[in-house]
């Protein structure tokens, strides 16, 4: 899926025969980023198996190397990270190129915020349009200073503070990245840093910080609000980590297998953290036949094998409160809704407008281009399903350099009459380099 050229890589996905077989998906992106960062702040060598080797995670690895960590991959695919210890990050000699990775950028800002170093962040055209103010605001309260491009965008230069000031912060929006940035800054901050989270988001940072030895407590109030308390000046211990399959990547073969008639597919070793399981819950409510085999726990994270059988789906109007548990999966959920019977109404999705693209508008425009009736809302979208009739198809779909838009419309092509053309598949390499190879293994492509 990678391309050495700067030219777009268009691709057409056509109607598919029944999908079958067993596959695995790349390692969880959220866990991969965090495993590299926390290993780099430990004293000693950590080992990471199953790391996602997409461009976003490799940008994190390059940044941690630039700040002193020794990071190597052996021939068996095991990554070895020798850390510098909390407080030991070195001054990077050049700008940190984040590519397309918003997660790398925001979490690394948190790490650097409590170190006495200065760093400049750059990124590609898509990342450079994404606002960083929701992270720079709380980190500024901790003592870091920022000089950014207009609109709090990249390129951005930050100067960390040492010692930083501990912070009590109530998240104004549900964001695992903002929460994680503050907690990472708190690692090298004297005293107690506290994040109050009114709406729960993915909790990989809390789980992994505890696993590395940080003093972290989570209190859940009666209304579901989570109060996360971290004691600073931590000493992190190296770990051995097995990264489970990314549920956001598994979403694409799951939806494809549900929609292509006659399909039955198993996706092995998928992370099933409750803060990430919203899509599976939604698809089951739509009538999807999804079974979890061999549930187990690996490295503190729930894991299982997801068995999917093609199903007739019905439209749905999910609770907006579900959004944080499936925020990255909404684009492919919209494809499922387009093939379902009846109308689906999705609301509470303002966060989608500040992802790699404005995912509400980009999906609405793409769905119209392949013959689906949609109405765009300020905070969501209304989709009229075909009731299982093949989508007309068309394109090229303007993906706006967004990997999840590209893969979602690739799935749409598998249930189309005339195929769906994607304008550029190169961005898929950021999270799922072997995406087309996986579709081929399932029988979707020649």
Residues with catalytic annotation? 328
Q: Give the SS3 label for residue 337.
A: helix
Q: Give the SS3 label for residue 387.
A: coil
Residue with tokens 């007739």: 312
Helix (H) or strand (E) holding 147: strand 145-149
Q: Where are the beta strands (DSSP E) in 248-288?
A: 264-271
Residue 180 CA to residue 152 CA, distance in Å, equals 19
Residue 117 CA to residue 124 CA, distance in Å, equals 23
Nearest to 438 by CA among 415, 418, 410, 412: 410
Residue 243 CA to residue 87 CA, distance in Å, equals 26
Nearest to 114 by CA among 140, 147, 82, 135: 140
Partners of 196 in the β-ladder = 170, 227
Partners of 148 in the β-ladder = 156
Residues contacting residue 223 through CB under 8 Å, at least 6 positions apart: none
Nearest to 413 by CA among 435, 444, 383: 444
Residue 41 CA to residue 82 CA, distance in Å, equals 9
Residue 391 CA to residue 68 CA, distance in Å, equals 51
Helix (H) or strand (E) holding 96: strand 96-97
Residues contacting residue 377 through CB under 8 Å, at least 6 positions apart: 347, 360
């Amino acid at each position: 899926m990678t391309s050495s050229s700067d030219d777009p890589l268009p691709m057409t996905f056509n109607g598919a025969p029944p999908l079958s077989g067993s596959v695995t998906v790349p390692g969880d992106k959220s866990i991969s980023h965090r495993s590299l960062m926390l290993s780099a702040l430990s004293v000693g060598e950590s080992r990471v198996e199953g790391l996602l080797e997409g461009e976003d995670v490799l940008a994190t690895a390059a940044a941690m190397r630039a700040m002193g960590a020794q990071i190597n991959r052996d021939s068996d695919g095991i990554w070895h990270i020798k850390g510098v210890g909390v407080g030991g990050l070195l001054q990077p000699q050049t700008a940190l190129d984040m590519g397309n990775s918003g997660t790398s950028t925001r979490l690394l800002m948190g790490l650097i915020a409590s170190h006495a170093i200065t760093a400049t962040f750059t990124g590609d055209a898509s990342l450079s349009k994404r606002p960083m103010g929701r992270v720079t605001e709380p980190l500024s309260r901790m003592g870091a200073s920022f000089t950014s491009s207009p609109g709090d965008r990249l390129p951005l230069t930050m100067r960390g503070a040492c010692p930083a000031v501990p912070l009590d912060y109530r998240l104004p929006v549900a964001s695992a990245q903002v929460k994680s940035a503050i907690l990472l800054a708190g690692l090298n901050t004297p005293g107690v840093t506290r994040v109050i989270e009114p709406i729960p988001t993915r909790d990989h940072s809390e789980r992994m910080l505890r696993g590395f030895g940080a003093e972290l407590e989570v209190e859940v109030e009666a209304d579901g609000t989570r109060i996360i308390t971290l004691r600073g000046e931590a000493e992190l211990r190296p770990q051995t980590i097995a990264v489970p399959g990314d549920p956001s990547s598994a979403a694409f073969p799951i939806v494809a297998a549900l929609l292509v008639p006659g399909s039955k597919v198993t996706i092995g070793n998928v992370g099933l953290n409750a803060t990430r399981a919203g899509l599976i819950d939604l698809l089951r409510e739509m009538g999807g036949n999804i079974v979890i085999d061999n549930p187990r726990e690996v490295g503190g994270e729930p894991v299982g094998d997801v068995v999917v059988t093609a199903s007739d789906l019905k439209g749905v109007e999910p609770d907006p409160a579900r959004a944080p548990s499936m925020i990255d999966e909404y684009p492919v959920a919209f494809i499922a809704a387009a093939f379902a019977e009846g109308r689906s109404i999705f609301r509470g999705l303002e966060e989608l407008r500040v992802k790699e693209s404005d995912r509400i508008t980009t999906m609405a425009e793409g769905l119209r281009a392949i013959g689906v009736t949609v109405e765009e809302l300020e905070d969501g979208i209304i989709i009229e399903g075909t009731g299982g009739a093949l989508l007309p198809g068309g394109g090229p779909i303007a993906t706006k350099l967004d990997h999840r838009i590209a893969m979602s419309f690739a799935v749409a092509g598998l249930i189309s009459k005339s195929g769906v053309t994607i304008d550029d598949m190169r961005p898929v390499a950021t999270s799922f380099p072997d995406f087309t190879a996986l579709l081929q293994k399932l029988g979707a492509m020649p």
